[in-house]
Chain A
Amino acid sequence: MKKWTRRAFIGAGVLASGAVVIGIAIRPGNRSSKVAGLIASADETVMNIWLKISPDNTVTAIIPHAEMGQGVHTTLAMMLAEEMDADWSKVKFLEAPADKEYANYVLAKGFIAGDKQFPKFLEGTIDGVFLTAVKSMNFQITGGSASVRFTGQHGMRIAGAAAKAMLLQAAADTWKVPTEELKAQNSTIIHQASNRTATFAELAPAAAKVKSPKTPKLKSQEEFTIMGTSKPRFDIPAKVTGEAKFGMDVQVAGMKYATIKASPVFGSKVKSVDTTISSSMLGVSKILNLGNAVAVIADGYWQAKTTLDGLPIEFESTANNKLSQADIINGYKKAMDTALAEDELDLHFKKGDALKELESAETLVEAEYELPFLAHATMEPMNCTTWVHDGKCEIWCGSQNPLGVKAAAAKLLDLDFDQVTVHNQLLGGGFGRRSETDVIEQAVMIAKEVDFPVKLIWSREEDTQHDVYREATLSRMKAGLDKSGNPIAYTHQFIFKHHPPEAADMPYDIPNQLIQYSSPETFVPWGNWRSVDHSTHGFLTESFIDELAFAAKQDPFAYRKNLSKNNPRFQAVLDLVMEKSGWGTALPANWGRGIAIAQSFGTIVAEVAEVEVSVEGKVKVHRVVCAVDAGFAIHPDGFIAQMESGIIYGLAAAMTGEISIENGAVMQGNFHDYPVTRMNEAPKIETHIINSGNPPGGGGEPSTPVIGPAVTNAIFNATGIRIRQLPISKNDLRESMRQTT
């Protein structure tokens, strides 16, 4: 199964061949009848694929996204209810089934076209193109901080508004009055002049027969009564009682449990394992050699795990078995040196002539940075329950990519797509990890060997050692400053690029830029990690700009603001974070303040960290002030929670996050050697939102890239020590190391 990446998706030909396929596009038309069987009972009316109305006047929003704590089920339902003028107390949601009918074309369109408006006359055909494309690609992803930006803005709101228009039309037809005299309010259509009212439910059967408008009128911000408020999240009550069901909690009659050990060295095969069940193995049903992993099926996880731990397994040795972290980093350096010498670096971004201008600069600043591999470490270890029976396959898991799960299982079992059913559950953390299908593929390989359902559970160690990792990287940056300290030339060479122009995502006006990269061979699997490449580039550019401010002998805030004078949105965010953080006010001894700003996923975030570095070199982040231009925050409290979450996630990575390779295998295994931020280490976080009137930005990821550099810049401010290698814990910050100046 080809790994899904946003880049691969774009590369799959939709954009490239868009101009060609428009001519043969299939219009989506009214797909309601096909989906009714999937989502509605006989007495419910399906208005369009995203919503149905029940006889008790409940409006149900069908949400094509997984819930992993981002509140997507609530927020997207709010967007639909807003445009529909539905009574919020009667709004429910249903997670869309993993079916091709729910391949999410509005999301795909967003990924590819951003907020670009298509000409009106192309609307229908463009949608048809995307629908056809996403169906063939099984695109039903939750990721890229995209649910509100794309599905919400271009799907839910339009679905709600279109349904309202249809209900108004049905009322107008029934009462023989013009639609202009009608209004929708609290799930009711009202004709004030004749004092007539009808509920949505009463009108729904007639309304469903009205032709759906393609481009219904949407509300303006001043008209919002639901969007922009913080409705209690649908998913929270069950999460405090223990009733919430995650993939891990699935119970199927007759189910047994499996656990697995894959080759510690990525890509190696099992050389030998004895799959005979001995009498000392309690409750064991089967020992399976899967080629690159060994699995044990037993009556319970504990029985499977203890049996697996006791099995002598030999894995084949390959050249990778000799590789260490130092080899990998040296390999990066060599790859970059060679590419540089032979002029073989790939071009990422170019503006002006940076190499020439560097020579004439007044001051030259250079830095090399090194970042580690990172694991996702979701709270819920990977798991998947699978039952292969009667030519069918049923899967229960929490996935960011349920259609991808279905496709992967169908391919492995050589089944028709619709012979596979995916029951998506709540996700105990996703962060990109649960957009992969590796675990599902293992679960299918195990389940097809037996005739009962099997729940595959990974140990925490397996989860840590067989993740798909945020890439380790190396970066070399140079800048030339003019007499007044402004950068006139900037070069940046880095290792690995997965997505479009993230390294060049800087608000700063630097006239000459040359950004290049090299992609050496690697055997460590890569995956989308919260904020993806922004997690590296946010750190690199915001560390380096801080170095430039220091070289220019300027205040880091003022320097950034001056250089972003062509970006008023950035300046407004900088001003807000400065004001709220008390930038420039006195701090206790050994404390420092650092600032960083970056745009990602349509959202601009600036953070100021207040950090104390003890004489022993111990770092404590006391306070983080976050200012964010959200465009418009649909659910302000949820948005704030996402900022808080992204900050703690990025902080854990910056402080101690490091996956390292020794003898070809990951050295870390659990939270004792891959430590994450705990409550006693968590800063006080204050978030301030700007609703700038721009399209809503993403929430799940944009606060993550900024926290690392905000903290390391604060450490520099406190100690004079510049952190160029993460995690921070690798650096010696004792008083004796500090500059005396």
Chain B
Amino acid sequence: MTRLIINGKDFEVDAPGGMPLLWAIREQCGLTGTKFGCGIAQCGACTIHLDGQPIRSCITPVTAAEGKNITTIEGIASDQNTLHAVQQAWIDEQTPQCGYCQSGQIMSAVALLNENPSPSDAEIDAAMSGNICRCGMYGRIKSAIKRASESLQSSTTPEII
């Protein structure tokens, strides 16, 4: 058994044979917001944060995350009744279509804004091009990142739903 800390909570998982984090998170911890898209770090749907850094959970073995802080889409807001500024911006821009890639998109966007509070278009492209959206909502994702960037800088407290 391996001990994982996900969104501040402890989980015990059984991860044989180099099992990637994605499957432990989804199947054993029941956190299905993190998605399976490609299995080879090509689409970004499985993006989570490991000690704050965005990683592709579909190729990261469970053992590499032992004892580290894992954050998933379910854990980016400060509590259950609030949304992260990026999530709110996603709603304001009516960004998702099918929505399947959006957990990964949001995790990449949050990591980008943590690192670079006001990214340029080129910096957004560079940070987000590992995340595929087959519904093609790239324009809206970009607008939402800019909106979130502005709201994060104008207010330090998350918006209440």
Contact = CB atoms under 8 A, between A and B. Distances in A.
A302 B98 contact: no
Contact of A645 (B43, B72, B73, B135): B135
Interface in B1-38: 16-17, 19-20, 23, 26-28, 30-38
A69 B99 contact: yes
Contacts of B94: 230, 232-233, 236, 637-638, 641
A632 interface: no
Given A232-B94, A302-B23, A649 B136 contact: yes
B32 A301 contact: no
A725 interface: no
A679 B141 contact: yes
Contacts of A426: 98-99
A672 B17 CA distance: 25
Contacts of A648: 133, 135-136, 138
Given A244-B99, A379-B132, A679-B131, A300 B27 contact: yes
Interface residues of B, number: 59
Given A69-B98, A678-B132, A644 B38 contact: no
Contacts of B124: 679
Contact of A242 (B72, B101, B136, B142): B72
A676 B132 contact: yes
B129 interface: yes
Contacts of B133: 379, 648, 679
Interface string B29-69: 01111111111101101000000000000000000000000
Contacts of A124: none
B97 A641 contact: yes
A652 B73 CA distance: 28
Contact of B101 (A68, A379, A685): A379
Given A242-B72, A282-B17, A457 B36 contact: yes
Nearest to B62: A302
A684 B139 contact: yes
Interface string A597-610: 00000000000000
B125 interface: yes
Given A251-B30, A427-B98, A677-B136, A381 B128 contact: no
Given A303-B16, A644-B139, A248 B96 contact: no
- Name the prevailing secondary structure of the B interface residues: loop
Contacts of A646: 136
B42 A644 contact: no
Interface centre among B131, B136, B141 (most CB of A within 10 A): B136
A380 B32 CA distance: 13
A241 B74 contact: yes
Interface string A622-666: 000000000000000110010011111101100000000000000
A460 interface: yes
A377 interface: yes
A459 interface: yes
A69 B135 contact: yes
Interface string A221-242: 0000000001011011111111
Contacts of B42: 670-672
A327 to B, nearest CB: 30
Contacts of B16: 282-283, 303
Contact of B37 (A241, A282, A300, A460): A460
Interface in A296-342: 300-303, 306
Contact of B100 (A232, A379, A677, A684): A379
Contacts of A380: 35, 37, 98, 100
A71 B142 CA distance: 20
Nearest to A673: B42
Interface in A704-741: none
Contacts of A652: 136
B17 A302 contact: yes
Contacts of A437: none
A648 B134 CA distance: 8
B99 A232 contact: no
Contacts of A651: 136
Contacts of A459: 39
Contacts of A428: 35, 98-100
Given A236-B91, A241-B74, A249-B32, A460 B100 contact: no
Given A69-B96, A283-B16, A644-B137, A670 B38 contact: yes
A379 to B, nearest CB: 4
A241 B135 contact: no
B129 A678 contact: yes
Nearest to B40: A670
B134 A240 contact: no
B106 A671 contact: no
B103 interface: yes
Given A248-B35, A301-B23, A680-B125, A379 B138 contact: no
B37 A381 contact: yes
A431 B124 CA distance: 28
Contacts of B30: 251
B140 interface: yes
A614 B132 CA distance: 25
Contacts of A303: 16-17, 19
A58 interface: no
A241 B99 contact: no
A460 B35 CA distance: 13
Nearest to A646: B136
Nearest to A379: B100
Given A240-B87, A257-B27, A645-B135, A429 B100 contact: yes
Nearest to A638: B94
Given A283-B16, A302-B23, A641 B140 contact: yes
Interface centre among A251, A282, A678 (most CB of B within 10 A): A678
Interface in A660-710: 670-672, 676-682, 684-685
Nearest to A455: B27
Contacts of A685: 139
Contacts of A670: 38-40, 42
Interface in A363-394: 377-381
Given A302-B20, A380-B98, A460-B39, A242 B103 contact: yes
Contacts of A241: 33, 73-74, 77, 83, 87
Interface in B102-144: 102-103, 106, 124-126, 128-142
B134 A379 contact: yes
A457 B22 CA distance: 14
B19 A302 contact: yes
Contact of A647 (B83, B99, B136): B136
B129 A679 contact: yes
A677 B35 CA distance: 19
A246 interface: yes
Contacts of B100: 246, 248, 378-380, 428-429
A459 B37 CA distance: 9
Contacts of A684: 139
Contacts of B38: 460, 670-671
Nearest to B87: A240
Given A241-B33, A637-B94, A638-B94, 19 more contacts: A236-B94, A239-B96, A240-B87, A242-B34, A248-B32, A257-B27, A302-B19, A378-B98, A379-B135, A380-B35, A380-B100, A431-B134, A460-B37, A460-B38, A644-B136, A646-B136, A672-B40, A678-B130, A680-B129
30 contacts: A68-B97, A69-B97, A71-B97, A232-B91, A232-B94, A236-B90, A236-B94, A236-B96, A240-B91, A240-B95, A240-B106, A241-B87, A306-B17, A377-B134, A379-B134, A380-B35, A380-B37, A381-B37, A429-B134, A430-B98, A460-B37, A644-B140, A645-B136, A645-B137, A652-B136, A672-B42, A678-B131, A679-B125, A679-B133, A679-B142
Give the 3 A-B CB pairs with smallest separation, nearest first: A242-B33, A648-B136, A69-B97
